[in-house]
Amino acid sequence: MGLDVRELGPRDRSNSSDKNYSYEGRCMVCNGNMQYFFSKNFDSWGLTSLDYEKCDDCGFAVCATLLRMSDKDWETLNNRFHTEIYQGTEDPYNRAGRLAGQAAAIDIMLEHGLITQGLPLLDWGSGTGDLAAELLERERHMFSYDEYITPLVNRFSGIPQPESFSLVTAAAVFEHLKDRAELDAIERLVAPQGVLGVHLLIPREIPADPSWIYYCLCIVLFTIGKACADC
């Protein structure tokens, strides 16, 4: 990824920005106290050391430095990061495998009537629309919606309305959101009796390994056991 992954270092708040500050050290799952967890040195892409914090009560963890970043800087960082990791032919995070698995699961849910086909399906944070493309090969239709990238496959035009979709998927999305309100807004799109499909990594324990995938840039939220259950 081109990151200078070195070590877990001492706390350094020199990156912190008060612009557009919204994170106030409260857990967005249980409203408990967030406590300093550790710092990681990056020394790349204009960032030096990032601080991570963890909830005293439920174990929910966040990258506090990224949460305090201005919206503009956050968007710029995301664009650079995602452009870099998905360019070329490499697939370092098995994205193709995950998409195939998600499409197969949705196909099975439709086949068995777990998802009603009377309302549309929506992939929130779809990127260019790769999940919709996978489903097209199975003769299933899903809309693609992304606030930063224009989907090339089955683009949903307009703003998705609450309770309008029998399935809303958010794959590898929640860990990039900065605000609980964003999570709740996605959930509200699901119709009564509909399904919210979330795909993210939920480890039993947070590894003490600075090269762990969720310690890369642009991951702001990660969670374990109790925090997930409380969610």
Question: Which parts of this chain interact with Zn ion (CB under 5 A)?
Answer: 27, 29-30, 32, 55, 57-58, 60
Q: Which is nearer to Zn ion, 29 or 170 (CB)?
A: 29
What CA–CA distance (Å, rounded) separates 105 from 81?
29
Q: Shortest gap between Cβ of 55 and Zn ion (angstroms)? A: 3
CB of 136 closer than 8 Å to CB of 160? no
Q: Which is nearer to Zn ion, 25 or 46 (CB)?
A: 25
Q: Which is nearer to Zn ion, 58 or 190 (CB)?
A: 58
Q: Shortest gap between Cβ of 126 and Zn ion (angstroms)? A: 29
Instruction: Please tell me what DSSP assigns to residue 215.
Output: G
What CA–CA distance (Å, rounded) separates 177 from 152?
23
> β-strands 165-171, 190-199: how paired?
parallel
Q: Which is nearer to Zn ion, 42 or 60 (CB)?
A: 60
Q: CA 78, 163, 116: angle at the middle one, nearest 5?
A: 105
Q: Which is nearer to Zn ion, 82 or 226 (CB)?
A: 226
Q: Shortest gap between Cβ of 10 and Zn ion (angstroms)? A: 25
Q: Shortest gap between Cβ of 32 and Zn ion (angstroms)? A: 4
Q: CA 172, 86, 145: angle at the middle one, nearest 5?
A: 50
From residue 230, give the alpha-carbon distance in Å to each of 4, 59, 140, 182, 185: 35, 10, 33, 17, 18
Q: Shortest gap between Cβ of 9 and Zn ion (angstroms)? A: 25
